[in-house]
Chains A and B, each alone.
Chain A
Amino acid sequence: MRQMLKQALLVFMIAALPALLWAQVPVSGTITDASGKPVPGASIRVKNSNLGTSTDANGKFSFTVPGKGGTLEISAISFKSQTIEVSAASAGLSIQLVEDVGKLDEVIVTGLATSVKRRNLANAVATISNKELTGGAPAQTLDAAMNGKITGAYINANSGAPGGGISIKLRGVTSVFGNTQPLFVVDGVFVDNTATPAGLNTVTAAARGGSSSNQDNPSSRIADLRAEDIENIEILKGASAAAIYGSKAAAGVVLITTRRGKPGQTKVSFAQDLGFVKIRKFLGARTWTAERAEALGGSDAATRAARKQEFLDAQAAGKIYDYEQEMYGEKGFTRNSALSVSGGGERTSFYFSAFQKDEEGIVQRTGYRNSGLRLNIDHRLSDNVKIGVTANYINSSADRALTNNDNNSVTLGVALSSTPSFTELHPDQFGNYPRNKYSASNPIETRDQVTNNEAVDRFVTGVNVDAIFQKSAKSTTRFIGRGGIDFYSLKTTALFPSSLQFQQVAEGTNVQGFTRSLNANYIVSLVNNFIASPSLNFTTSAGITQEQGDYNNLINVATKTVANQTNVDQGSALTAQQLRNKYQDNGIFVQEEVGIIDAITLTAGVRFDKSTNNGDPNKYYAYPKAAFSWNLTNSVIENSFFDNLKVRAAYGQAGNFPAFGSKFTLMNIFNIGGTTGLLVSTLRGSPNIQPERTSEMEAGVDFSVLKSRVNFEISFYEKRIKDFLLQRPVAGSTGFSTEWVNAGDLRNRGIEIGVNAQPIVNKNVRWNTNLNFWLNRSKITKLNIDPVVLGVFGNTLGTFKIEEGKPATQIVGIDGAAGVVQLGDAEPRFQMNWFNELTFLKGFSLRWLFHWKEKGDVINLSELLTDLGSTSPDYDDLNKDGKASGPARIANVGVSARQFVQDAGYLRLREVALYYTFPKLPVNFVKGLRVGVSANNYFTSTNYKNYDPEVSNFGTGFSTGVDVMPFPSSKRATFHLLVDF
């Protein structure tokens, strides 16, 4: 290898030396967009070489072309590429770039190490640019910032708690009990997105047994990443695009590329946001009267009188409170500072950023803080060898309060649901909180004294090596190696002091979780590019991959704790729970891409994967893929109505390995009286468990008309999941409650239509608009076992049910004489988004994003709880039968679950932002100045009755869309200042 490298280098140097020494052509100029605004960061390169520069903040560049000049290729993200010929020294070149409305020149990664321009792409790959991600009204976390921006995705926020917690499903449900969330890859590093519960279940008993459950409302770890650092996100929505990621790609792959430095003057940017968050809407509460208060006493005369008197006293003293307002009515201050420095020379470029975000929540003592550093360095070791290193450190902390379902009446919402406004919850002058007569906890006391914190220290680092070690006129062979580690330590702290109303039995609870997660992966591949003739080229790639994960979660629960002490040893009873996960997956892949006259692209590849999580850890599973795209404008059609017309089809398979440990039946620790005991687990393992297999067929047509000002992208897909994994309930008499099985097959079909257009473009006004429509339908096509009711709270209250011939996301429940019937479907009927950017008056830019989700049901049990607590705002309002609504709904409990299954469709103005870029700058060391205001979530139209139609009591798994007293969602308003130096 070294021999060959040396030879190649020598040949190249000898060939290049004369040119380098003897001739040069200096060029300089400005690059602008259609409206004359400078384009910073555009790249100017001598075609087919590594020589070039990029523009500064004012769109200016100067550069010396060696030799006698040549063809310069000018490209910038979101503009069409252009070439100009230079043969003599020229200063003051003025180059106007045309916007790439249809993103046809965007380069899309199609293999593990290969890429293709969108105009030749066989899949509908969604991309989100930095501008789309952060240029509008930025959300708190990265996952939230993606919401409404991905065609084909169903993204749902679990709650409004600071620090996020978001479920992302691409093209329908790809798994029921396997992983439903896409794989996240940041600069080649597979990053972990596990949601780790904080052990709140110890106190809430939302689920029986164990200290943590999926109702603990944890955040998703992808939220740690900073949107500002991201250059671009590519979403491979299904197996046909993502097959080369093999067994991890069944739910899609989200490829994140972070920003890199560019050669040229060092650019320093500073951005400061200031703003506030408020609750999105209040629900209100029941209006109390003496009679209504009296009725709370039930049938006991003394109690009735006491309740009535309590109300009258409170009324007389003016002490009727709005507890909802007190609880969720805080206006949280938000700030976000980001500093980035980027630049570089011929051989080395860098991007450095430092940031801190600090946001208060809408509940006192809640909030989110995220600080971090990033350094990305690219170095050209020689003309043939490039090395890139990325390093990112993040420290985040989220105070999330105690919300969601519980069975001990301790979470804020559950306690409030049965607390009338006339009872006193505020502390007396000595700081003693009164006991809440109407619930097991005093929510004001809970808010003031309970801590629920998630703190993360995370380090993500990756290395890319790209070496050309063989180069001839027709063939180039590169070695591409990339890999990295993602390490984090997560500390969850849940403190419940002994003084709390609900801590009388436990006498203080201190739950501390320590999680250490290490993920490492590498891809080693060889890519050969062979140009057989000008109209025929081959790209062959082959390589191996390995991914390892090691997750270790230790939860310590101390009870009978010492007042005001937070160490876990400060108590008299201590119990611990540990959960470990470990896997190693190995893959081998080969892929061949054939390009014919820059119009037809054929791709075929296969990946072989094995995993230690499979029943047989040494068995390889093969995941093939094939794709075809034909750009008719480059070959068949000339000068027609269509500026660009492409037909495409792609097929691929991907897998989803079983969860760790699914092959074992464990004996759990169950002690008594200080003696160690073993009790069989409720989950029966399956020694023969197999991975799920997803195969996806996608076909589509893309075309551009009216001088590429209107672009269409239309796709159809069918995704079949074979042998989907299920933890099915088994007959309790087996001794088990559930067991792992490969249960059957399911199918998703869908349509995605995207239109982007530039309806107005002139010197003063430019309007880019982007309208997308998508829908998905799922169906269980085969079920080898009896229908399975999943999670939630049983037929009486509505539940999910996996049933052959029915949608995978159907919601069933009892309905009077009809028995158990389908009452709804969590799947939206369709979704649309509409993203716009309007620039006007030389410097103003208005961006807005609408997101419309049509239908899609949620099981609303929050309303049930307020009804049972007699506090619903419409409790006394007459319904259409002329009866009081609250009691009428209660009477229906156990008769029909229909009332809980509610339409959670919405039309939401997710983001709206107005920015102004100063054309003249006050001092010359400031190179750019921009100010803006933005609003996030400020308008929502929905029929859904609780806080937000986006909700999930059960977190990010399959059963999203269950509403049990979540942390209410918020809206944000922010002022932005951006300065470039």
Chain B
Amino acid sequence: MKKNFISYISGLLVVLTIMSSCKKEIGSLNGSTIEELSSNATKFQLNNVVTGTESGMRNSLDFYLDAVGMIGREMYRFAGSEPRYTTDLLGGGSATLNNNTFYLTNSWNSRYRVVKNCNILIQATNNSSLVKPEEKKGYLGFAKTIKAYELLLNLNLTQNNGIRIEVANPDSLGPVVLYPEALTTIAGLLDEAKTDLTGSVFAFKTTLGFNEPAGFIKFNRALAARVAVYRQQWAAALTALNESFFNLNGPFNAGADHIYSTGPNDQLNLTFFPQNQNGEIRLAHPSYSIDITPGDDRIAKATLRTSAASLDNLTSNRDVWVYTSSTASMPIIRNEELILIYAEAKINLTQFPDGIVALNRIRTGHNLPPYAGGITLAALTTEMLNQRRFSLFFEGHRWVDMRRYNRLNQLPLDRAGDDVWEKFPLPLTEM
């Protein structure tokens, strides 16, 4: 009995064990995986990655513009539940910039996330046998252009603390590259992208405003012009401008934009707040309305509030009014900046008349009389920076510009003990 019984039990257990151990793998239920893309992706898959890249470019831009705008003393971001805007970013009291706080890490990580997406697109394109060679060139040119732009935004934050360029393999990241070298690499990447774009075919649509390779090259060259002035390569800047959508007499707002919508899984422009809000607000720095020339129509970017707002000993009575709805598009680079780049390059090449023509184009376009100041490198540089300040208000330039010309010490301090930071530290996770 006992023996029979034991063999019976064993038998039962074996049967049950076999029953229960049939092989089972539950796949990913919540979306496609990287692996699915890396082997022989279809055009549809590649196009999804293109669109995702463009969508992701908008992530955390509000943090970027707030951080750069505050340090550049363009504006204040007040938040009832977040003190660090007015402490850390302005260096209030003895507060300093932290290397592991949202104002840095959110934008930093968002930019590299897009870089990663570009690298996935490059790899998927190279591994795909379902795409024609000229179409491949289109994907590659797109990916490299966007990658260069995203790297540039992060470099703007950390400047001489550097960025990483080689990041395709997460298990073996390239070194941190310092400012001048990083700018050179970014310029090289844009050039490489231009080569790819030349003679390519777009099998995809972009939302940035340039749907054909020829147009996209113009966007690419506009970015190249910006990088060139950052590198003080004035002649190169003019060359790039000529191949871009630069038009001295064209509309200021022509250019490449991020668009927004309320569609599913799309995004809203988070830099928009209605006017006269309380608690969560963006205010123009008081100096904006003080320094602006009376009659300048750019005062419309800083509208008067019904009542001033104060926080942490900072007060302003003007709202930032650059993005006027939650679906307002946000420029990546536009003709007004290109005109100013043209002016900057000409001034630095001491071709002052050309520079003044461009400055006057800006001035008259904003209801100001033509330039009547001194015609020296110093005076014109000041005027050019001043026009950039008002023309590109809250578009992320002021701090970078003043730093380029070593004029950070000219930015106003609101409270005793405040500081103007030169650069962000490298994020903690990069150490």
Which residues on A are within 8 Å of B, measured CB to CB?
1, 208-209, 296-300, 302-303, 306, 405-409, 414-415, 417-418, 435-441, 470, 472, 475, 477, 504-506, 524, 526, 528, 542-544, 546, 559-560, 572-576, 578-584, 586, 588, 610, 612, 617-618, 660-661, 664-682, 684-685, 729-737, 739, 789, 794-796, 814, 864-865, 868-869, 890-891, 893-895
Contacts and interface: CB of A to CB of B under 8 A. Distances in A.
A633 B53 CA distance: 74
Given A414-B80, A672-B207, A731-B173, A544 B32 contact: no
Given A676-B51, A731-B429, 13 more contacts: A559-B262, A575-B266, A578-B30, A670-B55, A674-B261, A677-B53, A679-B53, A679-B114, A682-B109, A734-B167, A734-B173, A795-B101, A894-B87
Nearest to A573: B262
B310 A729 contact: no
B28 A678 contact: no
A436 B310 CA distance: 14
Nearest to A307: B310
B262 A732 contact: no
Contacts of A477: 5, 9
Interface string B280-313: 1100000000000000000000000001111111
Contacts of B94: 894-895
A409 B279 contact: yes
Contact of A544 (B20, B106, B119, B267): B20
B272 interface: yes
Contacts of B16: 524, 544
A482 to B, nearest CB: 15
B265 A582 contact: no
Contacts of A299: 310, 313-315
A303 B315 CA distance: 9
A842 B30 CA distance: 63
B100 A794 contact: yes
A325 B13 CA distance: 65
A668 B13 contact: no
A505 B274 contact: yes
Interface string B237-273: 0000000000000000000000101111111100011
Nearest to B13: A542
Interface in B70-125: 79-84, 87-88, 92-96, 98, 100-102, 105-106, 108-109, 112-117, 119-120
B163 interface: yes
B108 A732 contact: yes
B26 A582 contact: yes
B10 to A, nearest CB: 9
5 contacts: A409-B79, A617-B25, A674-B266, A679-B55, A733-B430
B267 to A, nearest CB: 8
A470 B28 contact: no
A868 B312 contact: yes
A684 B429 CA distance: 15
B56 A670 contact: yes
A733 B112 contact: yes
A697 to B, nearest CB: 30
Contacts of B132: none
B23 A618 contact: yes
A683 to B, nearest CB: 11
Given A298-B314, A544-B20, A732-B109, A679 B1 contact: no
**Which of B102, B170, B274, B313 has the most chain A CB within a 10 Å cutoff?**
B170
Nearest to A581: B29
Given A409-B81, A586-B21, A735-B112, A667 B274 contact: no
Nearest to B165: A733
Contacts of A574: 264
Nearest to A405: B81
Contacts of A737: 109, 113
Interface in B1-55: 1-2, 5, 8-9, 12-13, 16-17, 20-21, 23-26, 28-37, 45, 48-55
B205 interface: yes
Contact of B278 (A209, A436, A582, A672): A436
Contacts of B87: 893-894
Nearest to B98: A796
A242 B106 CA distance: 42
A869 B79 CA distance: 10
The list of the 3 closest CB pairs from A to B, nearest first, reads A735-B116, A298-B310, A894-B95
B108 to A, nearest CB: 5
Contact of A298 (B116, B273, B313): B313
Given A303-B315, A407-B82, A669-B31, A439 B279 contact: yes
A435 B207 CA distance: 38
Contacts of A408: 81, 280
Contacts of A578: 30
B60 A731 contact: no
B367 interface: no
B195 interface: no
B425 interface: no
B416 to A, nearest CB: 12
B173 A435 contact: no
Contacts of B313: 298-299
Contacts of A612: 24-26
B317 interface: yes
Given A673-B261, A734-B167, A661 B429 contact: no
B279 A440 contact: yes
Contacts of B13: 526, 542-544, 588
Given A542-B13, A670-B55, A678-B48, A437 B307 contact: yes
A685 B30 CA distance: 13
Given A439-B279, A682-B109, A666 B30 contact: yes
B366 interface: no
Contact of B101 (A543, A584, A610, A794): A794
Contacts of B273: 505
Given A675-B51, A732-B108, A575 B81 contact: no
B70 to A, nearest CB: 14
Nearest to B259: A673
Contact of B34 (A583, A588, A667, A890): A667
Interface in B172-231: 173, 205, 207
Contact of B100 (A208, A406, A731, A789): A789
B80 A869 contact: yes
B326 interface: yes
**Which of B35, B60, B80 has the most chain A CB within a 10 Å cutoff?**
B80
Contacts of B363: none
B192 to A, nearest CB: 20
B277 interface: yes
A441 B28 contact: no
B80 A417 contact: yes
B164 interface: yes
A504 B277 CA distance: 10
B102 A794 contact: yes
A306 B53 contact: no
Nearest to A861: B81
**Which of A300, A673, A682 has the most chain B CB within a 10 Å cutoff?**
A673
B427 interface: yes
B311 A677 contact: no
Nearest to A685: B33
B310 A300 contact: yes
Contact of A680 (B20, B24, B113, B280): B113
A691 to B, nearest CB: 16
B274 A504 contact: yes
Nearest to A204: B81
Given A679-B52, A680-B113, A298 B315 contact: yes
A59 to B, nearest CB: 44
B272 A672 contact: no
Contact of B80 (A409, A618, A670): A409
Contacts of B55: 670-672, 677, 679
A894 B33 CA distance: 40
A560 B326 CA distance: 12
A814 B95 CA distance: 11
